Amino acid sequence: MHWYVDVLKKYAVFSGRARRQEYWMFTLFNLIISIVLSIVDNALDTQIIQTVYALAVLLPSLAVGVRRLHDTSRSGWWLLIGLVPLIGWIILIVFFASEGKAEANEYGPNPKYAPAA
């Protein structure tokens, strides 16, 4: 759960790098919370709770995605390829699942070996 909270603490931090585990654990918890809120919304016959949550985590989701791309030595602008249906999504999933560069790059030191803050 701390992976989810850590991403939220860096609400709109687009600089630096994010490990695979940080990205995927945030995505997993985000998905679980979204499903639960969707069920609650359906039970209440509304969609406001899920919509507010989705808007609240939009910036952290984009930020962790950009930091994940930075870890693979790619610009955050690569997120825009996700606007291309299917092909763009597949490319992004491959980038997000790729191992980060072991050495420091222009976006900072490897977060896998950086001391915990």
Which range marks the domain in which residue 88 is found? 2-97
The one-letter amino acid at 41 = D
Beta strands in the chain (DSSP E): none
Does residue 113 lie in a domain region?
A: no
The residues with which 105 forms a beta bridge, in sequence order, are 108
Task: Note whether 23 and 73 are within 8 A (CB).
Answer: no
pLDDT digits (tens, 9 = 90+) for 53-83: 999 999 999 999 999 999 999 999 999 999 9
Does residue 114 lie in a domain region?
A: no
Query: How much is the mean pLDDT over the chain?
Result: 92
Q: How many domains does the chain have?
A: 1
Kindly report the pTM of this predicted structure. Answer: 0.89
Instruction: Tell me what the mean pLDDT of segment 87-113 comes to.
Output: 90
Residue 98 in tokens = 């790729």
Does residue 59 lie in a domain region?
A: yes
Does residue 44 lie in a domain region?
A: yes
Beta strands in 6-110 (DSSP E): none
Does residue 12 lie in a domain region?
A: yes
Confidence of residue 114 (pLDDT cuts 50, 70, 90): low
Helix (H, G, I), strand (E, B) or coil at 81: helix
